[in-house]
């Protein structure tokens, strides 16, 4: 299992969450702030079985488009994704 720490722009969140839920993925949404721009963004924690990793990455690519932010405008990526091995997972 992997935990994807996925940082996305707020405007992309509704479409991404909808796509995740439609495809039976589970996610936790956290409000976050970028260290460089100090503007709000969203971090999703997505726990996924290894065999579905490519599928969830494809959904992120489809729904997170990136944007220009700040003054002067800086291009902010569609998503920043850290994939972390999960040593143990339990739902109690």
Report in angstroms the alpha-carbon separations of 30 from 10, 42, 44, 45, 74.
11, 6, 6, 8, 23
Any contact of residue 35 with ligand 2BA (CB under 6 A)?
yes
Determine if 4 is a binding residue for ligand 2BA (CB under 6 A): no
Q: Is 67 in the site for ligand 2BA (CB under 6 A)?
A: no
For position 75 contacting ligand 2BA by CB under 6 A, the verdict is yes
Give the DSSP letter of residue 68.
E
- Dig out the tokens for 20 from the structure: 């995740």
* Residues forming the site for ligand 2BA (CB under 6 A): 7, 34-37, 39, 41, 74-77, 80
């Amino acid at each position: 299992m992997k935990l994807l720490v996925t940082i996305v722009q707020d405007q992309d969140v509704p479409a991404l969450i909808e796509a995740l839920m439609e495809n039976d993925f589970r996610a936790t949404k956290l409000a976050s702030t970028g260290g460089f721009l100090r503007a709000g963004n969203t971090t999703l924690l997505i726990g996924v079985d290894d065999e579905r990793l490519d599928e969830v990455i494809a959904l992120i690519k489809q729904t997170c488009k990136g944007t220009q932010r700040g003054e002067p405008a800086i291009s902010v990526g569609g998503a920043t994704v850290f994939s972390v091995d999960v040593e143990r997972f339990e739902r109690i």
